[in-house]
Structure 1
Amino acid sequence: MRITQGCFSFLPDLDEEQIKAQVEYCLRNDWAIGVEFTDDPHPRNTYWEMWGHPMFDLKDAAGVMMELNACRKAHPDVYIKLIAFDSTRGFETVRTSFIVQRPKVEPHFAMTRTEVRGRTVNITLTERA
């Protein structure tokens, strides 16, 4: 089972030109770009590590790609995603995020549904090798 978090997660992985096009779209909308990474893609892990600082004043996609490639070099076998913040109303809101790197071997999860009292369903998510 492939990890599906963020935009484009059900599509094939984006290539470099497609990633750059998405970054350019975000920058045209005045959204700040951030790079995050993790080795724990569990769906409840919403706090990925931030690579550097969000790039609030950056206007060129080449700068984002440079930071992304530096993160890839430092962390070659983890999940990396780009996030875009919109701060036009005075608070940060994530407008989009998408995975740009996956490890060679992704963990697999099994989901078990158990019916209990009434119409309640308990869901257990476990990692499989």
Structure 2
Amino acid sequence: MRVTQGAFSFLPDLTDKQITSQVQYCLDNGWAVNLEYTDDPHPRNTYWDMWGHPMFDIADAAGVMMELTACRKAYGDRYIRMSAFDSTHGWESVKLSFIVNRPKEEPGFRLRRQEMEGRNIRYTTETYATDKPEGERYSG
């Protein structure tokens, strides 16, 4: 099952050349870019671990791509997301976010059904990845 979060998730994975183009677009618009990684891609897990600091002062996509290469070297077996923030007054929010790295195998999600009072039914989405402890979720 392919995790679909952020822009471009329903497309084939972007090449590094395509990622570089998107990064340069963000930088040309004055947006700060940052990288985050996780081994728990649950849709409600919005707080991924940050790689370094947001790159407010980088003007060339090559600098961001260098950080992405380092992040992939350290966490290539996890999901890595790139986000761009508009820090101008009145916005101060994410303008673009997309996955730039995925584990080789994406375990997917299960849907748990719970019978509640009366005829109510509650559904919960859980990732299969969390069946293993953190740090072991994508290793053989």
Match of 1:24 in 2: 24
From the two aligned structures, give the one with the greater strand fraction. Answer: 1
Once the two structures are superposed, what CA deviation does each residue of 1:53-81 show, in whole Å capped at 9, x if it has no partner? 00001100000000000000111200001
Per mean C-alpha deviation after superposition, the further-off stretch among 28-37 and 119-128 is 119-128
Structure 1, unaligned runs of 5 or more? none
Counterpart CA distance in 1 for 2:33 and 2:21 is 13
1:119–1:95 distance in 2 versus 1, CA, 3 Å: farther
Counterpart CA distance in 2 for 1:83 and 1:119 is 42
Structure 2, unaligned runs of 5 or more? 130-140
Instruction: Check whether the contact 2:36–2:51 (CA below 8 A) recurs between aligned residues.
Output: yes
Counterpart CA distance in 2 for 1:120 and 1:17 is 49
Per mean C-alpha deviation after superposition, the further-off stretch among 105-114 and 57-66 is 105-114
1:112 Cα deviation from its structure 2 partner? 4.7
Per mean C-alpha deviation after superposition, the further-off stretch among 113-122 and 63-72 is 113-122
Counterpart CA distance in 1 for 2:97 and 2:55 is 14
Identity, in percent, stands at: 64
| 3-state SS of 2:53 partner | strand
1:119–1:96 distance in 2 versus 1, CA, 3 Å: farther
Q: Which amino acid aligns with 2:122?
A: N
